[in-house]
Structure 1
Amino acid sequence: MIIGLTGSIASGKSTVANFLKKRGYPIVDADEIARLVVEPGSPVLKEIESVFGADVIKEDGSMDRAKMGKLIFDDNRKREQLNTIIHPAIRKELIAQKEAQIAAGAETVILDIPLLFENNLHEYVEKILVVSVTPEVQKERLMSRNQFSEQEAESRIASQLPIEIKEQGADAVIDNNGELAETEQQVVDVLKKWQV
């Protein structure tokens, strides 16, 4: 079974992914893949440089994520340009890693994809597991984790699909507002129910 794991920023999706990893489930991490496809010298990074200019490349040849983030955050056209370059490469690598896990004998593979719904990747999975928190908890965690002001945190949260919409598209929702043990127990219950 291919399980899509998603959530919103600061919802605790990585915590759930780590728990699944400890239980022996192979994880294909879209964030890691997104970093991999823009490594120095990669064709994707060269294309980004030709579209956005040398300003977005650091001296060591890597992408300047902070500059790129500022460039695209409030500019939908530029964000769309970047996505058009990066997303096909991410999809290709995501599928390759999933297929490699299956070829290696994995019966269940977890695709950890933060923007599963936003990027229309739900067709690649059989079940969707959404990690959810209340907006208050999400904002508090994001401010604490990233040293964001309240306004910065709200702006980041608003840039993603609302969690309620993700919950509607889920096969199961993990409520991550409580203690870690409670979250882990919910994950165990879902895996039992799905018989994986």
Structure 2
Amino acid sequence: MTSISFHQKILSKKDEFCKRPLNWPDKVIGLTGGIASGKSTAGRMLSGHNFPVIDTDMLAKEVTVPGEPALAELVKTFGKEILDDNKVLGRHRLLNIILDDASARKLVENIVHPYVFKRMDGMLQHLAASGKNIVIVEVPLLFEAGWQKLFDYIVAVLAPDSLCMERLIKRRKISRDMASKWIATQISQEVKAAKADYVIQNHAGLNELQIKVNRLSEVLKHL
């Protein structure tokens, strides 16, 4: 497989709430990959090429701050023990719950994803109205959530699980056991590679990643 390779798109049924509106930019590119694979770094690099980038992980944090209905629904579902002493969502507390319970993880996704989609939709409509034709949307769980049909093309940034494991332990300051559980909640690198339109293998450092992103940016500009 080349660093950036083309695959036939694989589309699957998406949740009812995420139907693609007609007034989005002409080309909406989904950017995904395993946790700690380097997708956010690739997103920042693409932003440097003047592509607007929407980070849905950041949107998920925004919709779960105090006062937001998504947080109220999470507390109603899982109890006040998911809040810290300041009544803010304790993300590590919630993470411990969902890593050990697939049904709890699905509940969280069913609560949070519609609110994330609503904000993403508003941002995409605004960008389209301002004349942006190509927009990148970073979605960590794009395939897991069944959001494939929302995007014209999908880019997957992948790295070996062993490398992702070390990055995750270092960045999040979590145990190896927790990191292993976290990685196990996501679909495999091989499946993501097969479902994506473009694949960037990120295992050789930032300079090599920048070269691959530069090449990808030229491809995207000519879609």
Q: What's the TM-score bracket when you normalise by the shorter of the two chains?
A: over 0.9
* Distance in structure 2 (CA, Å) of the matches to 1:190 and 1:179: 17
Question: Match of 1:14?
Answer: 40
Q: What do you get for the CA RMSD once the two structures are aligned?
A: 1.6
Give deviations 1:30-53, integer Å, cap 9, x for gaps: 101101111111111112112211
1:24-103 matches, within 5 Å, as: 24-103=50-129
Deviations 1:82-122 (A, max 9, x none): 22211111111111111111112111100000111000111
| Inter-partner Cα distance in structure 1 for 2:90 and 2:76 | 14
**How many angstroms apart in 1 are the aligned matches of 2:100 and 2:149?**
29
Q: Distance in 2 between matches of 1:42 and 1:148?
A: 28
| 2-structure distance, mates of 1:193, 1:21 | 15
Go from structure 1 to structure 2 and tell me whether the alpha carbon gap of 1:135 and 1:72 turns closer, same or farther (over 3 Å shift): closer
Residue 147 of structure 1 is aligned with which of 167, 173, 179? 173
Unaligned runs of 5+ in 1: none
Residues 1:182 and 2:213 aligned together: no
| Structure 1 length-normalised TM | 0.92
What is the alpha-carbon distance in structure 2 between the residues aligned to residue 136 and residue 66 of structure 1?
22
Paired position in structure 2 for 1:128: 154
Distance 1:107 1:73, change over 3 A: same
* Cα deviations by residue, 1:147-180 (Å, 9 ceiling, x for unpaired): 3443333222111111110010111111111132
Q: Tell me the matched-pair count.
A: 196
CA distance in 2, matches of 1:77, 1:152: 18
Deviations 1:117-143 (A, max 9, x none): 000111111011110112222222223
Q: Is the 8 A contact 2:70 2:112 kept in 1?
A: yes
**Secondary structure of 1:117's match?**
helix
Matches of 2:97 and 2:166, distance apart in 1 = 26
Deviates more, 1:69-78 or 1:14-23: 69-78
**How far apart, CA to CA, are the structure 2 residues paired with 1:43 and 1:189?**
41
Task: Pick closer, same or farther for the CA change 1:169–1:143 going to 2, 3 Å.
Answer: same
Segments of 5+ residues of structure 2 without an aligned counterpart are 1-26
> Given residue 112 of structure 2, which amino acid in structure 1 is its aligned partner?
I
Aligned partners of 1:50, 1:179: CA distance in 2, in Å? 43
Which residue of structure 2 lines up, in the alignment, with residue 117 of structure 1?
Answer: 143
Q: Structure 1 vs Structure 2: percent identity of aligned residues?
A: 33
Distance 2:167 2:89 in 1: 27
Match of 1:4 in 2: 30
